[in-house]
Amino acid sequence: MVLYATMEPCYTVFHKETETFSNIWTNYSEDYETFCSRYKKDIERYGNVKQFIGKPNIPENSFTVSMIPWTTFDAFNLNTPNFKYLVPIFTIGKFVEYNRCFYLPLAVQVHHAVCDGFHVCRFINDIQSLINTI
């Protein structure tokens, strides 16, 4: 078993001119402003790198955040044969406004060998609680 004190988000950057993506990751910080500053620096430095791994040396303690900002969705599933990737994958879509409320689709794909629905629900409820404080 491996347990990390922190996890680093790994996400894609879209290149409009080639319609391709590059992977970038950012060091996590509990302080939101610090994390945002790190994110902005990574985008400035690696955002225009036109290869699959935009920022090298993706850490072992990273997790995937996939973004589909062009559309909203009710469900999303990645079909991967022989799926052995044990870290959760988070997919976020385009937000919509309805009755003066904002809705942001979030799909969480987990490997059942390491996570149950109970834990996913706890995580989603925690996110909702944090959002409700904004």
Active centre residues (catalytic): 112
β-bridge partners, 93? 68
Cβ(106)–Cβ(91) under 8 Å?
A: yes
Burial class (CB in 10 A: 0-12, 13-18, 19+), 75: exposed
List Cα–Cα distances, 16 to 24, 44, 48, 49, 52, in angstroms: 16, 16, 10, 13, 15
Half-sphere exposure of 19 (CA within 13 A, CB side): 1
What are the tokens at 35? 């994390």
